[in-house]
Amino acid sequence: MPLSLRYFIVVIVILSSTLSDSNAQRRRKPKIWEGFSVTGRVGANHFYGDLVDDGRTNYSFGVVGEKELNTFLSGRLSLMGGKMSGSQHAYSDGDDIDFEGDVYAWFDNTYVEMNAGASFRPLNLLLGYYKQRAFNPYVIGQVGILYYSASEYFGARNDQGEEDGAHWRDKSGITASISGGLGLSYWINSQWSVNIEAIGTFPTTDELDAHSEWTSPDGTVYQTEANDFYYTTSIGLTFLIDDSRWKNEPKYNRKAYLKTRSQYKSSSKKNLKSINKKRRKRR
């Protein structure tokens, strides 16, 4: 056989194997999606700072991406935002607070936070990995950055002689934060679950309410207590993009089979009813 023909055959064989391998890889789902879920969240934040005698609760919403790292630990990225608010009342020691007409100052704040962290599921570690566990508590730890844009306004009982609702000052910036909390998830089926979370956040700033200092009538400037704090309670709906490679503990195999079998039976009945309804319409 001529040498050129041998080379030609070798090239054809290499190209064929390369193309078949690339086609096989294209058919597979990328491993990055194994055990990856996306959660939409909505809830409320509760602010604790300087201007919080009243109206400390406002709305929050966002999205969380989570990937299983092992049977009990998951990495997570979250993007949350919303509004913060609160008001401070002016009163002397021993006086009762008149919530209708003695507001000293109030604020509103638009914020966005981006966090990276992990969630730990203790039951998976203590009792064994079980994907279909109905209720599964977890612990959350995160670090991140927080953008805030806050405005402070004078109340009717301010000591600066300003009109009620007059603009006082603005504060904005980006700060680091650390947060942690608890969650509880409820398994619906192999792809969907719902959960609730309560997370406390410590930002490294005292300006989320735009009130880090105040001035007395004689012109003396006083610093407020350092650092604000808030916690967020929210409910989430989670969609699992692709099942993880981790398998249930063998002792849970039958329970998992019974749970998923009833799920598939239910979906099959719904599909059958839908098909029969379409057939009747065609007649």
Q: What is the domain partition of the chain in residue ranges?
A: 32-247, 249-283
pLDDT tier at 124, thresholds 50, 70, 90: very high
Return the H-helix or E-strand segment holding 154.
Answer: strand 135-154
Tokens of 267: 């979906």
Question: Over 70: is that where the pLDDT of 221 sits?
Answer: no
Contact between 230 and 208 (Cβ < 8 Å): yes
Paired with 195 in beta bridges are 185, 236
Question: Over 70: is that where the pLDDT of 149 sits?
Answer: yes
pLDDT tier at 21, thresholds 50, 70, 90: very low
Mean pLDDT of 100-124: 91
Residue 170 Rama label (left phi>0; alpha psi -120 to 50; beta): beta
Q: What pLDDT, on a 0 to 100 scale, did the predictor assign at position 22?
A: 40
Mean pLDDT of 159-174: 86
pLDDT tier at 76, thresholds 50, 70, 90: very high
CA dihedral 250, 118, 260, 126 (to 10 degrees): 30
Question: Over 60: is that where the pLDDT of 105 sits?
Answer: yes
Contact between 54 and 251 (Cβ < 8 Å): no
Contact between 238 and 38 (Cβ < 8 Å): yes
Q: What pLDDT, on a 0 to 100 scale, did the predictor assign at position 84?
A: 95
Contact between 54 and 87 (Cβ < 8 Å): yes
Assigned fold of 32-247: Porin (2.40.160)
Question: Over 60: is that where the pLDDT of 192 sits?
Answer: yes
- Global pTM reads 0.77
Mean pLDDT of 206-233: 76
Distance from C-alpha of 172 to C-alpha of 209, rounded to nearest angstrom: 10
| HSE toward the beta carbon, residue 76, CA cutoff 13 A | 25
